[in-house]
Structure 1
Amino acid sequence: MYENPDGVKIGLEVHVQLNKLKTKVFCGCTTDYHNDPPNSHVCPVCLGLPGSMPVINKKAVEAAIKVGLALNCKIEEHTQFYRKNYYYPDLPKGFQITQYDFPISSQGYIMIEGEDGEHKVRITRAHMEEDPGRLVHEGTIDKSKYTLIDYNRSGMALLEVVSEPDLRSPKEARRYLDKLRNILEYLDVFDGNLEGALRVDANISIMGGQRAEIKNISSHKGAERALLYEIVRQKNVLRRGGVVVQETRHFDEAREITLSMRTKEEAHDYRYFPEPDLVPLKISEWAPAIKETLPELPDARRLRFVEQYGITDDHAKALTSELKLAIFYEDVARKADPKMAAVWIVDVLKGELNYRDLTIDAFKKEDILKIIELLAVKRITEDGAVDIIRTILDKGGSPEEIVAEKGLLKVEGDIVETAALEAIKENPQAVADFKAGKEKALNSLVGAVMKKTKGRADARAAREILVRKLDE
């Protein structure tokens, strides 16, 4: 059972941009604006000009229902849009079209890897709304001399996924975000690599204080760091005899601190009322047909990988954590030993990619297949295989070219035995230590053999030869 001595409670409101749609949620403006000049993808509707009328994008509603189903939510009988009234420069018409009493879906959950094993995080609701524009501050938000506004983003379809305060640590919050993003990418409704695609508002409280809301966090790492800072801040306030008040705070990513923005608004402050230009939608009858189109989701694919390919659950979790990685592995596993493929893709290749901040797209399936083939027929060593992967990522080239250029073909027999005899002769202290019962001394002798053979000897074979020679 996970101990939570500070009584940390975290709930997340995640704003997901449904950016795989061709047009915005209430107008015909294109969603492909990310590389274009500011304010070049706008019209009277998304600029909120007087007399303009919104028209609902049916594909956006279908995508929202698809997400609700994937999050194990109940799809409501009907849904309705409201006006959420507040003034902010990025909201030109003075209100946001969103949902209030009648969201698209509610009462769902996500299973994550918690602090003490599998942990269920309840989803309160997932509702649709329009994205406001983007504010660009000169410097940090609290010291900016001016602010620019880009309305290209205004009117993009958003889905706000609201969780219950079931998260108990910043680490769990990050895992929740990772899992949510993974599900969204499997559904093909969202491209997480685009700017503004996923933004987080985090609500956090600790025992003895009220909750604070941290607004507009733009990354999973940022969410974890903001929450870590906020726990320390709130604990320090209570330790000094102060009161943790309910408020809205901003996360300054450059300084990794949160700053007070305003006291927290309540729902009645926004004066919600039904959007008069959009009629309620009866959506429950859409759900069965949409459910039939759902792809295989991460948890289902993980279980299938374990059963079909005989790999470990840990490897299956890692392989299904990204859709592209899961597809890459399955393509390789159909042509090579599945267990060997899982080990080399998860334990080696993925680590080398992460170190270089690269994705699986940076490596060819044919290259990992060739490396596994060379390992299977024992033409290269494991060290040689790692060298090939690193060289491909750093300099390019094919496995065959790198093997020939670096002379990585595995050596056996007399060559290894000769190297072992030389290592024994040149390292008398290690030999004496080994014979005195210090098993670790053998590692230095194995290292000497590997050095002499330029990493082309099999380490296990070298160890066996050394032990035999030392016993003679």
Structure 2
Amino acid sequence: MSVEQSIRNKYTVVIGLEVHAQLLTESKLFCSDSTAFGANANTHISPISLGHPGTLPLLNKKAVDYAIKMGFACECSITEENIFARKNYFYPDLPKGYQVTQDKAPICVGGKVWIKAKGETEEKAIALNRIHMEEDAGKSIHTEDSTDTLVDYNRAGVPLIEIVTEPVLRSADEAYAFLTEVRKLVRYLEICDGNMEEGSLRCDANISVMCKDAKEYGDKVEVKNMNSIRNVHRAIEHEAERQIQLLEKGEKIISETRDFDAAKGTTSSLRTKEELNDYRYFPEPDLSPLIVDEAWIQKVKEEMPALPRELAKKFTQEYGLPEYDVQVLTDNKDIALYFDDLCQRTKNYKSASNWIMGTVKSYLNDKNLAINDFPISPTNLAGLINLVDEGKVSNTVANQQIFFKMLENRGSDAETIAKEDNLIQESSSETIQPIIDQVLMELADKVKEYKSGRKGLMGLFVGEVMKRSKGKADPKITNELLQQTLE
């Protein structure tokens, strides 16, 4: 049952997120086992990932590079001396009985992620506490028709970064925007595919509520097992209302870990919340301190790609695009880069945006293709846009005829096709005027109606001229000549 808005307004919702991103390395964090998704259960394992006695870990350098990249993207400070730790707890899918992670010395400290929540006009910086590296656990599989639980250790040891916010988010909308931005960042950096449904991006939400005039946060509840950004939003909304209802009844919030049921949209208790001392952190004795020196940091910095916020600023300020266009174009890195390349070859930035968001994306969706597989180069698409701008072909002819010819003939340019297919617009009044005279003579009755006030008939006249010229008459010139003739 929903809480009335007047009651909801008495409280502030406090949210902190812990986002785990599975890194796109070919091997695990401390051994050479494959990280490929979708393999048969327990085929990507070894004595090291299973924690057999006497085995020793060796750190994956590529995973460190990826963690540093995310730190740069989030404006973090990079830690020079990194210490790994053992986090001790038991689950069936944690074969060693502990997880190797970072505790006192995370790879990235502080930082922020910029978001714009739904309905907001200004950006907000979401402060980060840290980004640290750790290994993933395995996966428990609960079968519906049996009381048995199966365990797949393929994921055990896969490298993760955990992005931990400060408790500064104040709504489900802000959490939604934050996760959307984080997913966009890891995809731009190409360090994680961001697919929550496959578990490569996972989020736990710490949620509490407090009266608006309170000085201290309320008791927090951690919600787990949310497999989409939308479900994170739903879980936060439900949990905030559940806690407010309890407080309104005078009941106490139990600090616990809860599960989210996507089918019902509700949370349920899993276990009481662990405290830090429950994990008994201590330095990992089998790993030396990791020293990240200035030369290493500089090398990673040189590999940084353009980020979505930088491109959004460029598209807004240099290309003068509206916010909606910018959001759509920067949602996918490859589309954003294709568009930026396109804009180096045409000055009609808005037309370029319309082509990408409309005709091009429609074609890609229909064919289930990525922009990297699109057969028309930015140079040739710019040629088509410029052909329309120069008045040589109409937008309709460009969209419905030339574009598809360019798709069929990879590498062909728009002007060559237009000339070969006799599609170049006729802009000479000497050619168009005789057609106009013939149309107006045959539609004399309509001309009388037009002159008596039915100005809407102009569309009929233009259509007839275009039809008889087989679409080659320049619509603008046609309109001008028609108006002059009818006067």
Structure 1 residue 346: deviation in Å? 5.2
Q: Give percent identity, aligned residues only.
A: 38
Structure whose alpha-carbon radius of gyration is higher: 2
Contact between 2:207 and 2:222, CA under 8 Å: does it hold in 1?
Answer: yes
Task: Spell out the pairing of 1:347-386 with structure 2 (5 A cutoff).
Answer: 347-349=357-359, 352=362, 359-361=370-372, 363-366=374-377, 368-369=381-382, 371-378=384-391, 381-382=394-395
Counterpart of 1:287 in structure 2 is 297
Q: Which amino acid aligns with 1:24?
A: K
1:402-435 deviations in Å (ceiling 9; x for gaps) = 999xx99879967799999999989xx9999988
CA distance in 2 between counterparts of 1:22 and 1:424 reads 76
The 3-state SS of whatever aligns with 2:123 is strand
CA 1:79–1:377 in 2, change beyond 3 Å: closer, same or farther? same
CA distance in 1 between counterparts of 2:480 and 2:252 reads 67
Q: Which amino acid aligns with 2:376?
A: K
Contact between 1:383 and 1:455, CA under 8 Å: does it hold in 2?
Answer: no
Q: Which amino acid aligns with 2:71?
A: G
CA distance in 2 between counterparts of 1:103 and 1:77 reads 10
| Structure 1 residue 62 corresponds to structure 2 residue 65 | yes
Long gaps (5+) in structure 1: 436-440
CA 1:350–1:203 in 2, change beyond 3 Å: closer, same or farther? farther
Structure 1 residue 103: deviation in Å? 1.0
The 3-state SS of whatever aligns with 1:37 is coil
| Structure 1 residue 13 corresponds to structure 2 residue 24 | no
User: Which residue of 261, 267, 277 maps to 1:258?
Assistant: 267
Contact between 1:217 and 1:223, CA under 8 Å: does it hold in 2?
Answer: yes
| Structure 1 residue 30 corresponds to structure 2 residue 40 | no
Contact between 1:237 and 1:243, CA under 8 Å: does it hold in 2?
Answer: yes
User: Which residue of 273, 277, 285 maps to 1:268?
Assistant: 277
Structure 1 residue 284: deviation in Å? 4.8
Structure 1 residue 148: deviation in Å? 2.5
Counterpart of 2:233 in structure 1 is 224
Counterpart of 1:298 in structure 2 is 308
CA 1:434–1:122 in 2, change beyond 3 Å: closer, same or farther? farther
CA distance in 2 between counterparts of 1:49 and 1:408 reads 73
User: Which residue of 122, 133, 136 maps to 1:131?
Assistant: 136
CA 1:62–1:343 in 2, change beyond 3 Å: closer, same or farther? closer
1:340-366 deviations in Å (ceiling 9; x for gaps) = 454224542476479768653464334
CA 1:442–1:75 in 2, change beyond 3 Å: closer, same or farther? farther
Contact between 1:248 and 1:261, CA under 8 Å: does it hold in 2?
Answer: yes
CA distance in 1 between counterparts of 2:466 and 2:241 reads 49
User: Which residue of 207, 214, 222 maps to 2:223?
Assistant: 214
Contact between 1:411 and 1:456, CA under 8 Å: does it hold in 2?
Answer: yes
The 3-state SS of whatever aligns with 2:116 is strand
Contact between 1:450 and 1:456, CA under 8 Å: does it hold in 2?
Answer: no
Structure 1 residue 444: deviation in Å? 10
What TM-score does the superposition give when structure 2 sets the normalisation length?
Answer: 0.75
The 3-state SS of whatever aligns with 1:90 is coil
Q: Which moved more, 1:281-290 or 1:104-113?
A: 281-290
Q: Which amino acid aligns with 2:344?
A: R
CA 1:447–1:83 in 2, change beyond 3 Å: closer, same or farther? farther
Counterpart of 2:103 in structure 1 is 100
| Structure 1 residue 197 corresponds to structure 2 residue 197 | no
Task: Spell out the pairing of 1:44-63 with structure 2 (5 A cutoff).
Answer: 44-63=47-66
Contact between 2:204 and 2:225, CA under 8 Å: does it hold in 1?
Answer: yes
Q: Which amino acid aligns with 1:365?
A: I
Counterpart of 1:328 in structure 2 is 338
Structure 1 residue 231: deviation in Å? 3.5
The 3-state SS of whatever aligns with 1:128 is strand
Structure 1 residue 54: deviation in Å? 1.4
Aligned residues: 455
User: Which residue of 246, 249, 263 maps to 2:258?
Assistant: 249
1:223-280 deviations in Å (ceiling 9; x for gaps) = 2333333334444444555444322222333444433322222211212122121122
CA 1:362–1:267 in 2, change beyond 3 Å: closer, same or farther? same
CA distance in 1 between counterparts of 2:237 and 2:439 reads 53
What TM-score does the superposition give when structure 1 sets the normalisation length?
Answer: 0.77
Long gaps (5+) in structure 2: 1-7, 212-217
